[in-house]
Amino acid sequence: MFELFQKNPVPDVDTRVLPLHFFDDGPLWRAFLLYTMFVVDDVLDADKLKTSLERLVLKDGWWKLGARLRMNRTGDLEYHLPSEFSSERPAIAYTHVEYDYDSVKHPLACRLPRASERPAIVCNPNEFLGLMRPENSPTKLGDYVNSDRPQLGLHIVSFKDATLVSLYWPHTAFDAMGQKTLLEAWSLILQGKEDAVKEPYGSDFDPLATLGQSPNETHRLAHQKMGTFNLIYYGISQLASFFRQQENRMVCIPASFVDRLRETAISDLRSLGSKDAFLTESDILCAWWTRFATAHLPSHSSRTVVLNMAYDLRKPLQRDLIPKGSIYLSNAVGFINVILSVKEITGNPISYTASAIRGAINELGTREQVESFQAMVRNSSAKLPPFFGDRNMHMVTLSNWTKAKLFDVDFSAAVIGENTDETVEKGKPRYIQNTQNGLILPNGFPIIGKDSGGNYWLSGHMKKGHWARIEKLLAEES
């Protein structure tokens, strides 16, 4: 953290200074830098991608993407917007690497995965960091605060048969749904539809400035909120996991398998007398994966397992803070917690855990419960989300980005030439991976989303050795 207080190397010649939104500038989001790589089996015009993204930054309300991050004397982050952009002070960080051959001839690109026919570990995403992170790319928040680096970075790797498009930014700027907003606007500009690009709501004020100030009901899990002593005990017990060697893997779950999981889960509920059984694919997928994420624990254990699920707040906040139909380019994330035991997860069908997840979302995802949860964040001395459970619990963090529809990003307006492969969807990514710098969260699993074939992709970090066990268990799945 000390590097955040170093003297800024660039003179302050900015004409506009704005604070970050309250829920953007917290220790949790400060800890993450996000990188997303889109693998497109088409040749894309790199210059067109760059210039269209630069034009987006110049549009009303999108200035934040080109702002510089600074820390003021009170320790709060600020956006400093250059009076004008130039080659010396660009709107986005941009790098381009071009190869005069097909991707299959590249030692790394040739191993980029394709969808599997059964649930399987398909790669270690860290193997491809050299393809998605340019030289001297940021690795911590201080690399933004202590440089003249724009918030948004674009790195393109071009082959004769494919293009890898990577975006990177500090999590303080926006979340996964914010990335959706960015990608859709970028695509519109690529297509020459600049007038259709909306101005982000709250670009010049904080719409969530009052969120968490007026809770009118008690949070449903308040009785299970960990106190200071238990939180310290849990924190100390988990310290080692942040220093142990972690392994990162990508898993593909085919559409046909997800369909069978859902049919079985719904059938199980109906057999128990639930005529109006409702479970989403997300509920079932998260429940199914929880079994693998806890497979290293004794199956008959009574140990508490807390599913800590990231929850997009845009919909519940439509009532009063974020108007329906608007776009919000910031962080609007809460957490839904599901508290079970290991033996509940392993000793019951997947429908049991999926129902617990659906019930928690219905109960804790209301506008009133969101207010109560965010009040606990606001009132925390560390400005962190509350922890529910007990000091010996095992936590699994799930962040489902499916609603961000990352696989729907449309780069077709930048395609050069024609692709004779009929299996390729023009300008659409066939593979996406996300990696992060800064804090590596053990047992944290982002679900990247669902591709055009209906296949799901998820990744995550686990203690060395756990993935080998999961690989064997996945091989047993039909």
pLDDT digits (tens, 9 = 90+) for 151-198: 999 999 999 999 999 999 999 999 999 999 999 999 999 999 999 999
pLDDT of residue 1 exceeding 50, the answer is no
Is there a single domain that holds both residue 169 and residue 247? no
pLDDT given for residue 122 in this prediction: 98
pLDDT digits (tens, 9 = 90+) for 344-394: 999 999 999 999 999 999 999 999 999 999 999 999 989 999 999 999 999
pLDDT given for residue 245 in this prediction: 84
Is there a single domain that holds both residue 161 and residue 278? no
- Asked if 334 contacts 313 with a C-beta cutoff of 8 angstroms, the reply is yes
CA distances to 113, 262, 298, 437 from 289, rounded to whole Å, are 20, 13, 17, 24
Is there a single domain that holds both residue 89 and residue 169? yes
pLDDT digits (tens, 9 = 90+) for 280-339: 999 999 999 999 999 999 999 999 999 999 999 999 999 999 999 999 999 999 999 999
Is there a single domain that holds both residue 189 and residue 256? no
| Residue 357 CA neighbour count, 13 Å, CB half | 29
- Asked if 350 contacts 357 with a C-beta cutoff of 8 angstroms, the reply is no
Residue ranges making up the domain that contains 74: 2-113+123-196
Stretch 9-15: mean pLDDT: 60
Both structure tokens of 365: 């995802």
Mean pLDDT value across the chain? 94
Is there a single domain that holds both residue 329 and residue 264? yes
**Given pLDDT bands bounded at 50, 70 and 90, which one contains residue 2?**
very low
In a domain, 103, yes or no: yes
Is there a single domain that holds both residue 229 and residue 350? yes
- Asked if 149 contacts 94 with a C-beta cutoff of 8 angstroms, the reply is no
Question: What angle is formed at CA 202 by the lines to CA 198 and CA 203, rounded to 5 degrees?
Answer: 70
Task: Write down how long the chain is.
Answer: 478
pLDDT given for residue 15 in this prediction: 75
Per-position DSSP letters for 228-270, written without gaps between them: HHHHHHHHHHHHHHHHS-EEEEEEEE-HHHHHHHHHHHHHHHH
Residue found by looking up tokens 């300008």 in the block: 427
Is there a single domain that holds both residue 87 and residue 32? yes
In a domain, 323, yes or no: yes
pLDDT of residue 211 exceeding 60, the answer is yes
pLDDT of residue 274 exceeding 80, the answer is no
In a domain, 411, yes or no: no
pLDDT of residue 12 exceeding 80, the answer is no
Both structure tokens of 338: 């599901």
In a domain, 330, yes or no: yes
In a domain, 412, yes or no: no
> Per mean pLDDT, which range of 41-50, 232-241, 428-437, 449-458 is the poorest?
232-241
Q: Answer with the residue of higher pLDDT: 439 or 169.
A: 169
Choose the catalytic residue: 45, 268, 410, 451.
410
Residue found by looking up tokens 């989300």 in the block: 385
Stretch 219-231: mean pLDDT: 95
In a domain, 344, yes or no: yes
**Given pLDDT bands bounded at 50, 70 and 90, which one contains residue 9?**
low
Stretch 247-260: mean pLDDT: 97
DSSP class of 178: H
Distance CA 40, CA 425 (A): 9
pLDDT of residue 10 exceeding 60, the answer is no
Stretch 214-230: mean pLDDT: 96
- What contacts 317, CB < 8 A, 6 or more positions away? 208, 211, 332, 367, 370
> Active-site residue 410, yes or no?
yes
Stretch 115-128: mean pLDDT: 97
State which of 162, 196, 230 marks the end of a domain.
196
Distance CA 75, CA 148 (A): 19
Is there a single domain that holds both residue 463 and residue 359? yes
Is there a single domain that holds both residue 82 and residue 21? yes
Domain count, the chain: 2
In a domain, 274, yes or no: yes
* pTM, entire model: 0.95
Distance CA 306, CA 376 (A): 18
State which of 145, 178, 196 marks the end of a domain.
196
pLDDT of residue 214 exceeding 50, the answer is yes
Is there a single domain that holds both residue 287 and residue 348? yes
Percentage, residues of the chain above pLDDT 70: 96
State which of 181, 196, 211 marks the end of a domain.
196
For 281-305, b where at least 16 C-beta lie within 10 A, e where not — what string? bbbbbbbbbbebbbbeeeeeeeebb
SS3 at position 168: strand
pLDDT given for residue 317 in this prediction: 99
pLDDT digits (tens, 9 = 90+) for 392-419: 999 999 999 999 999 999 999 999 988 7
Is there a single domain that holds both residue 178 and residue 232? no
pLDDT given for residue 447 in this prediction: 98
pLDDT of residue 138 exceeding 90, the answer is yes
In a domain, 428, yes or no: no
Choose the catalytic residue: 21, 80, 171, 466.
171
pLDDT given for residue 299 in this prediction: 94
> CATH number for the domain including 452?
3.30.559.10
Is there a single domain that holds both residue 146 and residue 266? no
